[in-house]
Amino acid sequence: DIVMTQSPLYLPVTPGEPASISCRSSQSLLYFNGYNYLDWYVQKPGQSPQLLIFLGSNRASGVPDRFSGSGSGTDFTLKISRVEPDDVGLYYCMQALQTPLTFGGGTKVEIK
Amino acid sequence: EVQLVESGGVVVQPGGSLRLSCVASGFTFDDFTMVWVRHAPERGLEWVSLITWNGLNTYYADSVKGRFTISRDNGKNSLYLQMDTLATEDTAFYYCARAGDYCGGDCYSLDFWGQGTLVSVSA
């Protein structure tokens, strides 16, 4: 199974400031087609998880361009250029390459 | 508008059984692989099971293999999860999700999720 490791576990942020979450996989998520099979999700309080970034760096429909995904192989980063109060929630990376699909442990983003 | 609506979550005793349902609308259901994911209290997201568009291929997390069965009825735009021999560790919100078609069926990015249904296993 592919193990996903996220950091930090807890991320207090100041509105207007940037924020960054790291995710590492135990094996490469770079597929032969050149795509990295790594997604980012956010679960806001009281809501279902929603897709933020797919295939490493592609924003899902409706996701603000403040969010960006980068990285390749085994090391990935989610960046928020300017945090807004609505961004609070649990952020997860997930490898979409093979079953069992596996998630990182999650990063709780809260406003300072 | 894509919608996924789960139902069937209740309080059940350890060792009991339950069937969850997920009704899909707003897209061609039988074009997509579907997935169940759960979120237990104080724990992160955990993938539970996956079924391909035609129902011919199914996959399970080790934690539920042999106890849970995923199925679908494309004529009814419905996804199911039969849960047997339930244990307290199965207590969680259960979400159905659609695997979007971003790479010709080779990847499983979950682009739409239902609102979830709560399964509570307790004596």
**Measured between CB atoms, which of B62, B109, B115 is closest to A54?**
B109
Q: Please tell me which residue of chain B has the smallest CA distance to A55.
A: B109
Q: Is B28 exposed, middle or buried (0-12, 13-18, 19+ CB in 10 A)?
A: exposed
Q: What is the mean pLDDT of chain B?
A: 95
Task: Give how far the C-alpha of residue B42 lies from the chain's centroid of Cα atoms, to the nearest Å.
Answer: 20
Contacts with B108 from chain A: Cβ below 8 Å: 96, 99, 101
Contact of B110 with A39, CB cutoff 8 Å: yes
Structure tokens at A79: 């960046």
Contacts of A99 in chain B (CB under 8 A): 47, 50, 59, 108
Q: What is the mean pLDDT of chain A?
A: 96
Nearest residue on chain A to B112, alpha-carbon basis = A50
> Which pLDDT score, from 0 to 100, does residue B42 have?
83
The predicted structure's pLDDT at residue B37: 98
User: Which ranges in chain A belong to alpha helices (H)?
Assistant: none
The pLDDT, as a whole number, for residue B118 is 97
CB contact under 8 A, A103 and B47: yes
The answer to whether residue A26 scores a pLDDT higher than 80 is: yes
Per-residue model confidence (pLDDT) at position B105: 72
Q: How far does the CA of residue B94 sit from the closest CA of chain A (Å)?
A: 10
Burial group, residue B44, by CB count within 10 angstroms (0-12, 13-18, 19+): middle
CA nearest B40: which of A103, A39, A100, A6? A103
β B117-121/B11-12 pair status: parallel
Q: Which residues in A have their CB inside 8 Å of a CB on B?
A: 31, 33, 35, 37, 39, 41, 43, 48-51, 54-55, 58, 60-61, 90, 92, 94, 96-97, 99-106
Mean of the pLDDT values across residues A66-90?
A: 97
Instruction: In whole angstroms, give the CA distance from residue A23 to residue A4.
Output: 7
The arithmetic mean of pLDDT across residues B81-101, rounded, is: 96
CA distances to B28, B37, B60, B76, B92 from B6, rounded to whole Å, are: 18, 12, 19, 14, 13
Give the residue from chain B lying closest to A37, CA to CA. Answer: B107
Q: Are the C-beta atoms of residues A58 and A34 closer than 8 Å to each other?
A: no
Provide the pLDDT confidence category of residue B106 given band limits of 50, 70 and 90.
Answer: confident
DSSP, collapsed to helix, strand or coil, labels residue B100 as coil
| CB–CB contact A49 B110 (8 Å) | yes
Distances (CA, A) of B29 to A111, B5, B57, B99, B107: 39, 13, 16, 11, 17
B107 has a chain A CB within 8 A of its CB = yes
Q: How many CB contacts within 8 angstroms connect chain A with chain B?
A: 75
How far apart CA B8 and CA B21 sit, in angstroms, is 6
